[in-house]
Copies of this chain bind each other. A is one copy, B any other.
């Protein structure tokens, strides 16, 4: 049984400003939560229907547990169809980005992606292809948005997502900087090498001017039909698959 104030506290975390104020975000679904437990993320509290308790592994003793009923879960859930279990998780402290983790690897760089589902899908795709880092511009959507967390399908705990002032951050990068553009060289003829960054822009505007001038290798996914553009999560995935194919040769 949750008190009114507990319910309104959790509901406040549906909004970015309260997530920031309280340093907590929401994650839902047994699979995602079980994957999060052994990760670097720290769970604050768990809210679950009775039948979910047996599905949980042994938990650190500092996690507060609350059995809830369906009506309570519906109130606190961010989903249209709640998944039986919800966790509040501490937002980690931001630490200095270790640029050495970029070497001998490819990373995705997002310049102003706005749709939370797109960001989550990109993190999930990065995880599939073994990309360790997703670097976001300061005006990219917040990674702890519930729709983003949901769309990562658990990959949030395996991919390092950081926010950087891109035009500054990119300046002393020594790696090749590829960019997804509408007027670059063909993806299919790109020489990827073994390390680099791939920049993807905002859904409507593409890559910003300040970031654009820092791209050494503009790359285009060749168009055969008539759509004006591709969804940004789709473009990111096509780039990841092409890079991965190249690395496996």
A residues 98-141 with Cβ under 8 Å of B? 117, 121, 124-131
> Inside 8 A of A129's CB, which chain B residues have their CB?
223-225
With contacts A237-B230, A238-B238 taken as known, whether A225 is within 8 angstroms of B188 at the C-beta atoms is no
> Inside 8 A of A242's CB, which chain B residues have their CB?
241
Interface membership of A245, Cβ < 8 A: yes
Interface membership of A233, Cβ < 8 A: yes
A223 to B222, CA, bound (A): 24
Interface membership of A154, Cβ < 8 A: yes
The count of chain A contact residues (Cβ–Cβ below 8 Å) is 38
Closest to A151 in B: B231
- Chain A, residues 219-237, CB within 8 Å of chain B (1/0): the string is 0011111111111011001
Please determine whether B238 and A241 come into contact, CB atoms closer than 8 angstroms: yes
Please determine whether A131 and B225 come into contact, CB atoms closer than 8 angstroms: yes
Please determine whether A128 and B225 come into contact, CB atoms closer than 8 angstroms: yes
> Inside 8 A of A221's CB, which chain B residues have their CB?
128, 241
Having A121-B231, A121-B234, A154-B227, one finds 5 other A-B pairs with CB under 8 Å, namely A124-B231, A127-B226, A128-B226, A151-B231, A153-B227
Please determine whether A224 and B130 come into contact, CB atoms closer than 8 angstroms: yes
A158 to B224, CA, bound (A): 13
A178 to B45, CA, bound (A): 45
A244 to B242, CA, bound (A): 12
A residues 177-227 with Cβ under 8 Å of B? 187-188, 221-227
Q: List 27 A-B contacts (CB under 8 A).
A: A121-B231, A124-B227, A124-B230, A125-B227, A125-B231, A125-B234, A127-B225, A127-B227, A128-B221, A128-B230, A130-B224, A131-B225, A151-B231, A153-B227, A154-B227, A155-B226, A158-B227, A187-B241, A221-B241, A224-B247, A231-B233, A233-B234, A234-B237, A237-B237, A238-B241, A241-B241, A241-B242
